[in-house]
Structure 1
Amino acid sequence: MIIDAHQHFWDLDRLAYPWLDADGLEPLRRSYDETGLDDLLATCGVDRTVLVQSLDSAEDTDFMLEVADRWSRVAAVVGWVPLTDPDAAAAAVAERTKDPRFVGVRHLIHDEPDEDWLLREDVGAGLEVLALSNLTFDVVAVTPRHLAHVPVIAAQHPSLRIVIDHLAKPPIAAGPWQPWADLLARAARHPNVYAKLSGLNTAAKPGWTADDLRPYVEHALRVFGPERLMFGGDWPVATLADEYERVWTETGRVLADLDEDERALVLGGTAAEFYRIPGVSA
């Protein structure tokens, strides 16, 4: 089974998403739901998808679960709970996990003024709530400092399954290898840390190809192995740098040297295992 482990929806008639006001994001300033995605997934042969939060808001999570009610391609939902308030987080988790499709949590840490937000004591207590509830945590690491925090929280919460979104945005366009490569390798030393091959095209220069992505993906394969890597299309954000079909095709080119079993892991098996997707075996 092919699983896209990272996609977003939002309804601007329902909620405001302040990050959409940033320069360069004008094409994304409209509502997105399964209407624009179902045909794309079918064309690419993608069976199921994981919806990932786009706002630190319970209402955003409500919206994704409502989409899941009507759209059978949704395999799982990564939502939000207030990690800075462990008691409130525990109450939210107790309610959310009544729905087996609610499998994990993400917080827009890259929008926090405090770049060390992940290391706060209250956040650590919130992360432990996730660990005790068998939920996952998606890390939006967009700076080297964010990525450096991943092995710290992995060591503090060894039973918490953590995934680094978008390979922590490697500097594909700019070209420098370090400190990203060493920081990713350091995070990968912890067996509870995984990573997503997602959002790479928007980190590359215009006109990007598989060859631009290849060194970064190959490094991720070396340090994580296919059993801890998963493909994500990052739709619709990825459309800022090309169409979904091209993201799918060029990712396939990068993975062409893997054997059939290894490709099956990256393209679905790892996501099924990591998120423990109901009704889907790895």
Structure 2
Amino acid sequence: MRILDTHLHLVYPDRFTYPWLSGAPAINREWTSAAYFAEAVPLGIESALHMEVDVAEKDIEAETDYVLTLPRIVGAIAACRPESLDFAAQIERLATKPGVKGVRRILHQAPDELSQSALFADNIRRLAAHGLSFDLCVRHDQLPIGKTLAEKAPEVTFILDHCGVPDVTGIGLNPWKAYISEIAKLPNVNAKISGIVAYSGADWTVETIRPYVEHVIESFGWDRVVWGSDHPVVTLTGSLTRWVEATWEIIRDCSEAEQAKLLHGNAERIYKVL
């Protein structure tokens, strides 16, 4: 079955600046489209949406323009700064690029207050008029404020990244489990089965991550979940191949229709991939 990867990071240090990568030496190097698809295509991954890589602000739009020229990249989720007074102008420019499907502002490493201002919420609401989604990247303890933001913008489609970033090696399922159940009650929020192995330790197994993946799917339902690799971050505790194999093991007994929704169908609808 074909897979549409909704969360691929590509790194081109010869073109763009990535300030945060200096603190992540294990992946602080070039990660190209060609190298990714050499491993991905044999696994059934035919295409991908590029997820912004938190480049320096001066490179945000150039990153988006470049990745949209690459083979098998069927869309991009661009970086944005909803806390900025210039946000409206940025979104106007991004909306003219046919391949831009949505935007993201990384919040899991930002102060909680950043996403709670009136300006931030007002700017997020602007996305609806342009048909753009917002990828919501918050930690497990920030899920309540993520829910508050989604409630303030009911006309905007949200995609919760990385299963809500559970603390798998720390406090575990609770209170993450209850937070997921609550945010899933919002009809404008979807969830991305991605990133979880990065928070599960180097010795994770399928049974380590199964309860988290299954709870997200149970909470959101088969029509509101998508799949992402989070490559190359996934290589910190494994590999793309291992993550794909683990995904198949978890959904092995699900129907073919359910598998198709998770692996490509929902993503094509939610991100408007034609």
TM-score by length of 2: 0.94
Could you tell me how far 1:78 is from its partner in structure 2?
Answer: 0.3
Q: For residues 17-58 of structure 1, what are the alpha-carbon distances to aligned partners after superposition, in whole Å with 9 as ceiling and x for unaligned?
A: 222222xx2121112221211111211011110101111635
1:271 aligns with 2:272: no
What is the CA distance between 1:253 and its match in structure 2?
A: 0.5
Alignment of 1:93-112 (within 5 A): 93-112=91-110
Q: Given the superposition, is the C-alpha separation of residues 61 and 266 from structure 1 closer, same or farther in structure 2, using an over 3 Å criterion?
A: farther
Question: Is this contact kept in 2: 1:89–1:129, CA < 8 A?
Answer: no
Give the share of equivalent positions with the same residue, in percent.
25
Aligned mates of 2:171, 2:247 — CA distance in 1: 19
2:125 is aligned to: 128
**Superposition pairs of residues 93-172 of structure 1, within 5 angstroms:** 93-112=91-110, 114-144=111-141, 146-172=142-168
Q: Choose the corresponding residue for 1:90, options 84, 88, 91.
A: 88
Look up the equivalent residue of 1:189 and give its one-letter code. Answer: K
Matches of 1:275 and 1:58 in 2, distance apart? 26
Q: For 1:194-209, list aligned pairs within 5 A.
A: 194-209=190-205
Q: What is the aligned partner in structure 2 of residue 19 from structure 1?
A: 20
- Alpha carbons 1:3, 1:47 under 8 Å: kept: yes
* 1:59 corresponds to: 59
- AA in 1 matched with 2:87: A
1-side partners of 2:194 and 2:68: how far apart? Answer: 21
Moved more, 25-34 or 231-240: 25-34
Residue 247 of structure 1 deviates from its aligned partner by 0.6
What is the alpha-carbon distance in structure 1 between the residues aligned to residue 69 and residue 234 of structure 2? 25
Task: Using the TM superposition, give the Cα deviation of residue 208 of structure 1 relative to its aligned residue in structure 2, in angstroms.
Answer: 1.5
Residue 9 of structure 1 contacts residue 32 of structure 1 at CA under 8 Å; is this kept in 2? Answer: yes
Consecutive aligned runs of 4 or more in structure 1 exceeding 3 Å deviation: none
SS at match of 1:70: coil
The one of 193, 206, 210 equivalent to 1:214 is 210
Distance (whole Å) between structure 1 residues aligned to residue 202 and residue 194 of structure 2: 17
Structure-2 residue corresponding to 1:47: 46
Range with greater deviation from structure 2 (34-43 or 170-179): 170-179
Q: What is the number of equivalent residue pairs in this alignment?
A: 272
Q: What's the CA shift string for 1:194-244, capped at 9, x where partnerless?
A: 111111111112222211111111111111012111110000110011111
Unaligned 5+ runs, structure 2? none
1:63 partner amino acid: E
Give the 3 Å change call, closer, same or farther, for CA 108–125 of structure 1 in structure 2.
same
Q: Note if 1:37 corresponds to 2:33.
A: no
Distance 1:79 1:8 in 2: 11
Aligned residue for 1:47, secondary structure, equals strand
Give the aligned residue type for 1:120: S
**8 A Cα contact 2:52 2:104, kept in partner:** yes
In 2, Cα distance between equivalents of 1:126 and 1:3: 29
Written as runs of structure 1 = structure 2, the 5 A alignment for 1:232-271 is 232-271=228-267
Aligned partner of 1:225: which letter?
G
> Matched residues in 2 for 1:143 and 1:175: separation?
10
C-alpha separation in 2, matches of 1:115 and 1:157 = 17
The amino acid across from 2:102 in the alignment is: G
TM-score, with length taken from structure 1 = 0.91
Q: Deviations over 1:102-132 (max 9, x none)?
A: 01110122232x2221111111111011122
In structure 1, runs of 5+ residues without a counterpart are none
Three-state SS of the structure 1 residue aligned to 2:68 is: helix
Distance 1:180 1:200, change over 3 A: same
Q: Give 1:164 shift.
A: 0.9
Shift of residue 175, structure 1, vs aligned partner: 5.3
Q: By how many angstroms is 1:85 displaced? A: 2.8
CA RMSD of aligned residues (A): 1.6
For 1:51-86, what per-residue CA distance to the aligned partner results, in whole angstroms no more than 9, with x for missing partners?
A: 011116352342243132131x11110002331235
